[in-house]
Structure 1
Amino acid sequence: MAELRVGTRVMYGDRRGTVCFVGALHSSEHPGIFAGICWDESQPGLHDGVFRGIRYFQCRPSSGSFIPMSKLNQGETIIAALMEKYGTPADTHLGVSFGNKEVLAVGWEKVMKKISNLERLTLVDLTGLNVCIPMPLKDDLSQLIPNVRSLGLGRSLIGCWSTVMSLIQSLPRLDALDLSDNRLAFDVDLHSSPANSRVKKLVLRKNVLVWEDVIRISEMFPRLEELYLSENCIHSCGNPAVVGNNFSTLKLIDLDSQSPPIADWNALDPLGRCVSLESLQLSGNNIGEISFSGTSAGSKTDLFSNLTHLTIKLNALKTWSSVDELNKLKTLENLKITGNSFLDSESPETARQWIVAKIANLKMLNQSPISTSERRDSELDYMRHFAREYLSCSGNDERRSLFLSRHPRFLDIVARLGPLEQDEVIPASAIQLTPAPLTVTLQHHDCQHQKTIPPTISVMKLKRIFQRLFREPLEVAQVLAYKTPSQPGVEFVLDDDQKEIAHYDLRSGDTIFLKSGNERVPVVF
């Protein structure tokens, strides 16, 4: 095995880490040569490279320790791992001798067939076998597994990208590579050795990558079509121009379960410049709102122009406005959106109907196809449900504008299916006998409180809640107003103390605040 030096990947028991120091310790109690290791996983009792007041190397807190050189395992070569899993030349000597005569052992033909099949393999998975790759290896590998198209090297002891690139050059047919749960140092100089990788699918789950690392990787793999990056440390996607240039062939990107989780949908805007991108996976993050603020209701955004598949399960989407925003995508057909809190406001059946009605091009929802008849029924029920509310806005341009901002497809559905007869409109009493509570933000100056309130509460009672929460008397000239995520920059006044707040079409996710009654309120027409 290669000489142990700084940067070498090693194992000790079931732990894997990187050598950051090799040498003697300034301690008579610990003679000999030690390796200072930065372990992949932190745990109590470890240090950050400081031992008895002396710093030997730098690493994360609770991630470093010193281990005698002789106790470290550097793994096995890729050739040895191949033979271990798929057959070994040693198996060819399975004869038994009787005097000068050798008799073949039972199973000889099966063993030989297994070995000869190595060169026929198109998929090789060596995940968890602690592979390391000493150089050179090109001739051995190209002869042993010349037809491999997919290679798995997850949880290996490969320590740097230059080793990976040499490996790729030795496998002329390789187009899919899994390097999950590795720690690879960036040591490739693309200026002196331009990337010529044929790899189209690259899996890098749990590699502690940030977005700057992803950009460097994209320069090594200029033909990437699928990139799997779940469980890394990516929270935004950098410069739109760089992303667009580096991922010109990318069709799928997986950003599930980042740590810390992605929280801002707009941080993904640079990916929207990838003209080939068809599938975006974002499950297990903390996105609270989807918004294409530069695109008006009823229009289509130029971002994600070819996106057909979106997975955004187990996030923090709070309001139905995020679903309305998804209708601004030109080509979205397949959506997975379970595990978001806004769905709890309706039954699963109703929630599905509303999503289908709100996104015109959707053909698959949560892995279930949407038939032509289901779309028609969903849109018809959606129209029946909200028809009375729309009609109640007649003569009030402000309320009509607010209604259409919350139901941007309503008039399109009416135009497509035709107006309802009077007996088809769902009576107000049948829509919801017990109005669902609203979760809103109450704000005064820089203070905010999130409250769940019934829609039947009067404006006057809500003012008293403000008085108790913010501990100051209300001035006569002060009024309550609210703003909604679907219409940023616009405020709506709760101008009648005796009316219930349901009269004003408040929704969960809105913000209610105090303002002077003399302030001018912009109205949308």
Structure 2
Amino acid sequence: MTASSQSTGVTVGTRFHISSGHFGTIKYIGQVTGTDGLWYGVEWDDTTRGRHDGIKDGKRYFSCRIPDAGSFIRPSAHLSFGRSFLSALTMKYVEAEHGSDTVEKVVLGSSNGTIEVEAVGLDRVRRNLGNLGRLREVSLDGELVATGDAKGDIHATCPNIRGLDLSASLLATWGSIADIIAGLPHLERLALNRNRFLPLDHELPILAFSHLRELQLNSTLMSWAEFRDVARFMTRLQSVELGHNYLESLNARSSSVVPGFLSLNFEGNRLDDWIQITDSLREFTSLLQLVLSGNGIRSIPPLSSTPSPIQGIKALALSRNDLRQWQHMDALHDWCPNLESLRMVGNPLTEDASLAGRARQFIIARIPSLLVLDSTEISVRERTDCELFYLSFISKHVPGGDHEKVQEHPQWITLCNKHGRPAEPSAQSKHGDRLSKYLISVVVQRSVNRPTNLHDPIDTIDPPLSVKLIKLLKISNSPRGEAIQVWLKLRDGYVQLDNSGHDLEWYGVENGTHLVVYTGE
């Protein structure tokens, strides 16, 4: 390292910002064989700017966390190494006084510059708004904070901050973060997204982090082991976000006291092994919310032993994974018996055209504890609808008795006990012409109104009629545009058949089925 680099305070691990808007980390300072002068070997946050992994002409100068994210650059006035916390806070939240209490002209923003008004005493307004001691929520996202300030100065300036966003800053060490928050005794929420930190190499002051409840570390490339090492000093931490950090496993264990985490967010990582994930979270017995969206999970295998390591989970996000089989939802009920909220959007199970038409009904019926699915509340009426439809589907499509049905649909017996068994499909004749194989005899009744709930009688204006229908007939609107609603009458109520273009056979309509039609006329 040369004297010039030492004098500027730049060392390996220093964060920088370049005038083009990009962030990086100094990984090497020195000479490069075959060239003259000083070079910085850097790893770019935006990996597309990189050209190599720290190797030039066969010689390794440094290593990158992400392959091919590195390059060499010259020291330059275009590089910024940031400012202190209080400097950034003042620049963001304090407008300089104009030095006069006389009249000032102000252009009204809504007038597109066409209206000017005169105002008196705006410096007094600026002084009031610039009182940093009043601040509760502070965002210094992208303000290039690189260092802390004296604890006493921070406490005297802004002692009441509860939430602080230091995302996309130039902070490189946890010591510099401790220097900042040590002066913020009421801090509860801290966002450090899109930063890069050196591994912790010394103990941190626990008192500095004692009030912290929520921590965001998205897009920081922190490993699970590095996070666990830091979390030892955050004794009251409850909510953590570690999204988009290229995490492939959570296999790092620690003998230290585990904080009582209530929520963990691992969105957008590479945690695709359900068994490994759940086993790693076994020690987090207070966990209520888990986000695993966008991790490439392909399977939720059956629970092999009880109790489940994540039995306390009440809210689970599995969006944008690769779940394709209904058995995964049956297994999920065993893994998370207290599950109340689930996000499944973006999986083949819910997006595939051949499955999506009944995905919501089937998920609700298979997981009896659910109250919310994909951010939409499940009403008592909808749950009953879904469970009745599910029973009818099983009866129609799964041959055999209870044993065979339970093998594919574990909720079969429970739902039969709750709603009663659906009518068994009548045997199809093995003889007859081709048309007769597609004809079914059903009872049809036209209604003057639709049921107000699943168990109310329907007031009809037509007597029941026994008619033959082609079972490939699809439900659709009438030629005059009225919305036709069709209800399937079961033993203990009615279930509405949606207008999604499926034929009668798809809904389990068979010989002897009683249909009620409401045309809205």
Q: TM-score, normalising length from structure 1?
A: 0.70
Range that drifts further, 343-352 or 314-323:
343-352
Which of 76, 82, 97 is 2:89 aligned to? 82
Which of 414, 419, 423 is 1:417 aligned to? 419
* TM-fit CA distance, 1:144: 1.0
- SS in structure 2 at match of 1:379: helix
1:106-505 correspondence runs (5 A): 106-116=121-131, 118-134=132-148, 136-190=149-203, 196-238=209-251, 242=254, 246-258=257-269, 261-269=270-278, 270-295=280-305, 301-328=307-334, 329-343=336-350, 344=352, 346=354, 348-390=356-398, 392-394=399-401, 401-422=403-424
Determine if the alignment matches structure 1 residue 67 to structure 2 residue 74: yes
Residues 331-366 of structure 1, C-alpha deviation per residue, up to 9 Å, x if partnerless? 101111011112326564522111111001111111
Residues 221-259 of structure 1, C-alpha deviation per residue, up to 9 Å, x if partnerless? 2221100111112122215x649x65441011111111x
Range that drifts further, 136-145 or 190-199:
190-199
Opposite residue 260 of structure 2, the aligned amino acid is T
What is the Cα-based RMSD across aligned positions, in Å? 3.3
Contact 1:23 1:34 in 2 (8 A): yes
* TM-fit CA distance, 1:301: 4.2
Determine if the alignment matches structure 1 residue 17 to structure 2 residue 30: no
* TM-fit CA distance, 1:167: 1.7
- SS in structure 2 at match of 1:20: strand
* TM-fit CA distance, 1:191: 8.5
Structure 1 residues not aligned, in runs of 5+: 98-103, 395-399, 435-525
Contact 1:195 1:222 in 2 (8 A): no
Cα distance in 2 for partners of 1:40, 1:288 equals 30
Opposite residue 134 of structure 2, the aligned amino acid is R
Matching residue of 1:473: none
Residues 86-137 of structure 1, C-alpha deviation per residue, up to 9 Å, x if partnerless? 115x42745689xxxxxx9751121011112x11111000001111115x42
Matching residue of 2:487: none
Contact 1:43 1:63 in 2 (8 A): no
Q: How many residues align?
A: 409
Opposite residue 114 of structure 1, the aligned amino acid is L
Cα distance in 1 for partners of 2:208, 2:257 equals 12
Cα distance in 1 for partners of 2:99, 2:40 equals 40
- SS in structure 1 at match of 2:358: helix
In structure 2, the CA distance between the partners of 1:286 and 1:402, relative to structure 1 (3 Å rule), is: farther
Cα distance in 2 for partners of 1:355, 1:316 equals 16
Contact 2:17 2:24 in 1 (8 A): yes
* TM-fit CA distance, 1:36: 3.0
- SS in structure 1 at match of 2:127: helix
Residues 291-316 of structure 1, C-alpha deviation per residue, up to 9 Å, x if partnerless? 24314xxxx74321221101101110
Cα distance in 1 for partners of 2:417, 2:362 equals 17
Q: TM-score, normalising length from structure 2?
A: 0.71
Identity among equivalent positions (%) equals: 26
- SS in structure 2 at match of 1:220: coil
Residues 130-173 of structure 1, C-alpha deviation per residue, up to 9 Å, x if partnerless? 11115x42122111110001100000001111111222211100
Matching residue of 2:489: none
Decide which structure has greater helix share: 1
Cα distance in 2 for partners of 1:132, 1:315 equals 37
* TM-fit CA distance, 1:53: 6.0
Cα distance in 2 for partners of 1:366, 1:426 equals 40
Opposite residue 414 of structure 2, the aligned amino acid is D
Cα distance in 2 for partners of 1:110, 1:426 equals 85
Cα distance in 1 for partners of 2:26, 2:425 equals 77
Structure 2 residues not aligned, in runs of 5+: 1-6, 104-118, 430-436, 441-469, 474-521
